[in-house]
A and B are shown apart, each in its own frame.
Chain A
Amino acid sequence: MKKLLMTLLALATVTLAFAAPVKLTLAQGKPEIDEALKAYASDWSKANNAEVTIKSVGGSSNISLGQQLKADYAAGDMPDIFAIDGPESYKEWKAIIADLSAAKWVKNTSVAFKMDGKVYGFPVAVEGWGMAYNADLLAKAGVDPKTLNSLGGYTAAFAKLDGMKDALGVNSVVSMAAGPDMGWVTGDHNFNSLLSNGLKYGDMSVANALLAGNVDAKRLTEYADWVALLFKYADPTVLTTGNYDSQVGAFANGKAVFLHQGNWTDPNMKSANATFKMAFAPHGSTKAVSDGIFVAAPSFYAVNSKSKNATLAKKFLEDLASTDRGAQYMVKEAGMIPAFSNVKLSPDGLLSKSVQTWAASGKIYSWNQYQFTGDFRSKTLAPIYNQFANGSIDEAKFIELLTDAFKSLKK
C-alpha cells in the first residue's frame, strides 16, 4: 500500500514537472508598453511552455519600479527579470544581477549596460528627448527650426511666437510641467541639460564636478536662464499643476508650439490624432550653439541570478533581440527605437523617427542624470524647480538653492 502511494506521488510530481509551465516574472517601469509586452509575452509563453507574467509599475511619482522591487525583495518574490535604470539602481541590486556577457545579443548592440567590462543589462530601447516642436506652427510663424540651438536662438523665437499666440491658435509657446507629479521632467530631464548639453557623448565632467560639490557658476547661470525662459513662456496652469496627460495633451492638440518631453510620447500623439509634422530641436541651455539631442538607452533588463529559472529568463531576452516576432513587438507594437543593429524595422512615430535621424548623424548627448540618486533628484531638486515655477523664488534664489544642493553632495 505504502509503496503504491509513493509511486503515485512520484508519478504525480514527474507529470507535474513536465506539464506545468515554468513561471517567469518580468517587472518593468514603462506602462506605455505594457499592453504590447503582455501580448508578446503571451505568444512567447505558448511557444516555450512557460508562463510569463509582466508587472508594469510607474508613470507617476506615486510608485516607482524601485519601490515595487524593494517590496518584492522583502517578500521573497523577486522577479526573474527586472528593469534597472543606471549605475545607482545597479548598485542597489548588484548582488543578484547576473552577468550577461556571454549572451548572443551583446555583439549587436552598443548600448548594453556595462560595469567593469561586463554586460549586466539588456537595453530595452533607445530613447531621446529635446525640444519637440510643431513644425507646421513654426512654418506658419516663419521661425526656422535651425535657429533653435542656443539660449539666444530660443529667446528670439519664443518672444516672436508669444506675440503671435492668437494667430497660431495656441495657449502658450511651451508645454512644460513642473508640478508635484512631474518632478521627473524637471529634476531628471531638464536637469540633464546642465549635465551634458553641448558636451561630447559620454563626457561626465560636469556631472562629476557637481557630485564633488564643485559648481561651474557660468554654466549654471546660463542654464538657469534657460529654465527661466521655459517657465516664462509656459502655460501657468500646466506648469504648476499639470500632469503628464495635460502637458502632452496641450502639444498634441496644437495648443502649444513646443513640448518638453521625449519620443515616448509618440503613442499619445497617435491617440490624440495629431497630424501635424513634428521633430526635435536641441536644448538651448547654453549661449554656445548645441547640435544634438539627449539620446540613450535609459532602461535595461537585468536577470535575477538567484532565480532558479535564470536560464529561461536569458532565453526570453535572447528571443526578444533575435527573433522577428521580438523585433515586430519592439518596433511596431511598442513603438520603440530598437537598440539592436540586427533589427531593421523603423518605428512609425514622428518623434521616434526624429531621434533616429539625430542618432544616425551622431549628434547626440548623453543622459547623465542617473549619476545622481533618485533621492537627490526627486526630493532635493524637484521642489526647487517647483518653487521657481510657482514664482515663489526668483532666478537668483533658484541658482543659490541649486548651488547649495550640489555643495551638500560633497562627501
Chain B
Amino acid sequence: MRSKRDHTFVFWLFLSPVIFAFLMVVVVPFVLGIYYSFTDWSSSPRDGAGVQFVGFLNYAKSFADPTFLYSFCITALYTIVNMAVVNVVAFALALFVTSRIPGRNFFRAGFFVPNLIGGLILGYIWQFIFNSAIPNLGALLGIKAWSDPANLLLAKSVPALFAIVIAGTWQYAGYIMMIYVAAIENVPIELHEAAQIDGAGPLRRLFAITLPMASQAFTITLFLTLVNSFKQFDVNISLTSGGPSTMFMGKAIYGTELLAMNIYNAAFVSNDLAMGQARAVIFFVVLAVIATIQVGANKKKEIEL
C-alpha cells in the first residue's frame, strides 16, 4: 500500500518539468519586466546607465506621450472593426462550407491556408497587392479609381488602417471559421428538422437555432479575435511600418502604429527599454481587464443543452 505522500511526490515529480518551463519563460520574465518598468534600465553600457529605481516616471511619461495615446485610440478602433469583420466573415464562410455545396472540404482547407502563412510575409504580399497589383490592374482595365495615386490605400493613415483589417481578416478568418464549423456541425439535426416541420425558413432557423446553439463558440472566437487584434504586430510592421503619418495633438506622428508596435518603437527606436517595458505592463493590464469582461459577458449568454 502506497502512502499518500508517495503519490504527492510522484505528482510533483511529473509536474516539475512543466513547472520549471513555466517559471523560466513566463513567471520570471513577467516579474522582471514589471521590475524593469520602474527603473531606467537600457541594455547598453551607455554612460550613467545603471539600473536606477525611478518610480512611476515611465508610466507618467507614457501617458504624456501623444504617440502612445494615439496608439491606444487607434488600437481600440482597429480592435472593434477587426473583431466585427473577422467574425462576420468567418461565420459567413462557416455557413458556406457547412452547406451542401460540392467541394466544401477543398474550400475549408483553402480558407484556412492563409493562417499558415507568417504574418510578415503576408504583410509584404498585401503591400504588393495594394501598392502595385491594384493600380496596375486599374490601368489595364481602365478603372481610373484604382490607378489614381491619390487613392492608394496605404498612402493615407485611415485607409491604411483598413488595409490592415483586410490583411488581418484574410489571415485570421479561416482559423475562426474552423471553430464555427465545429459549433455549427454540433447543432443537433433534430432541432432543425422539428423547426422545419413547424415551417421555419432558413433565416429563421439561423437566428433561432444555429446562433444560440453556437454561443459557446462565440465566447472563444470573440476572445481570440479580441486578443489577436489588440496584439497585432507582424502584419502591422510589414504592411504599413506604422505609417503613413498623421497629425495628432499638433504633432506629426505615425498614423497606423498599433500599441504593440508603439511599445517596440519606444524600446528600440527611442532606445528606452524601460519605457517600452512600462507600456507593455499597461498593455497587459488593459488587455486582461477587457478580455475578462468579454468572457464574462459571453458566458452569461451560453446555452447548455
Contacts and interface: CB of A to CB of B under 8 A. Distances in A.
A70 B149 contact: no
A91 interface: yes
A375 B271 contact: yes
A70 B43 contact: yes
B36 to A, nearest CB: 11
Question: Which of B45, B135, B270 counts the most A-chain CB atoms under 10 A from its CB?
Answer: B45
B71 interface: no
Contacts of B52: none
A180 interface: yes
A184 to B, nearest CB: 12
Contact of B245 (A93, A236, A375, A387): A387
B244 A92 contact: no
A66 B269 CA distance: 8
Contact of A70 (B243, B245, B271): B271
B265 to A, nearest CB: 7
Contact of B155 (A241, A246, A384, A393): A241
Given A374-B269, A378-B269, A379-B67, A240 B244 contact: yes
Nearest to B152: A241
B252 interface: yes
Interface residues of B, number: 37
Contacts of A1: none
Given A236-B149, A387-B252, A62 B238 contact: yes
Contact of B47 (A66, A70, A94, A242): A94
Contacts of B253: 379, 383
A67 interface: yes
Interface string A42-82: 00000000000000000011111011011101100000000
Interface string A375-410: 100111011101100101100000001001000000
A374 B271 contact: yes
A390 B269 contact: no
A276 to B, nearest CB: 24
B181 interface: no
Contact of A180 (B45, B132, B240, B269): B240
A233 B57 CA distance: 46
B244 A61 contact: no
B141 interface: no
B131 interface: yes
Interface SS of chain A: helix
Interface in A240-278: 240-242, 246
Contacts of A240: 149, 152, 154-155, 244
Contacts of B53: none
A354 B130 CA distance: 37
A96 interface: yes
A92 B44 CA distance: 6
A167 interface: no
Interface residues of A, number: 44
Contacts of B149: 235-237, 240
A276 B132 CA distance: 26
B237 A179 contact: no
A373 to B, nearest CB: 8
A379 B244 contact: no
Given A92-B44, A236-B149, A66 B241 contact: no
A91 B47 contact: yes
A241 B273 contact: no
A185 to B, nearest CB: 13
B254 interface: yes
B168 interface: no
A390 B47 contact: no
Contacts of A380: 252
Given A70-B273, A180-B254, A384-B245, A241 B46 contact: no
Question: Which of B44, B149, B254 counts the most A-chain CB atoms under 10 A from its CB?
Answer: B44
A241 B269 contact: no
Contact of A383 (B150, B237, B254, B271): B254
B247 A392 contact: yes
A369 to B, nearest CB: 15
Contacts of B119: none
Contacts of B30: none
Contacts of B130: 241
B44 A375 contact: no
Contact of A390 (B46, B131, B245, B250): B245
Interface string A268-294: 000000000000000000000000000
Interface string B150-162: 1010111000000
Nearest to A61: B241
B246 interface: yes
B242 interface: yes
A95 interface: yes
A91 B42 CA distance: 13
A181 interface: yes
Interface in A285-341: none
Question: Which of A66, A93, A383 counts the most B-chain CB atoms under 10 A from its CB?
Answer: A383
B272 to A, nearest CB: 8
Contacts of A181: 241, 243
Contacts of A386: 243-245, 252
Contacts of A246: 131-132
B237 A62 contact: yes
A384 B269 contact: no
B45 A94 contact: yes
A136 B270 CA distance: 43
B57 to A, nearest CB: 17
Interface string B93-129: 0000000000000000000000000000000000000
26 contacts: A61-B241, A62-B237, A62-B238, A63-B268, A66-B271, A73-B43, A73-B44, A91-B46, A96-B45, A179-B154, A180-B240, A180-B243, A180-B254, A236-B155, A237-B135, A237-B149, A246-B131, A379-B254, A382-B245, A384-B252, A386-B244, A386-B245, A387-B245, A387-B247, A387-B252, A390-B155
Interface of B: 43-47, 67, 130-132, 135, 149-150, 152, 154-156, 237-238, 240-247, 250-254, 265, 268-271, 273
Given A74-B43, A386-B244, A393-B252, 10 more contacts: A71-B43, A91-B46, A93-B44, A236-B155, A241-B130, A373-B271, A379-B254, A383-B254, A386-B245, A386-B252
Interface of A: 60-64, 66-67, 69-71, 73-74, 91-96, 179-181, 235-237, 240-242, 246, 373-375, 378-380, 382-384, 386-387, 390, 392-393, 401, 404
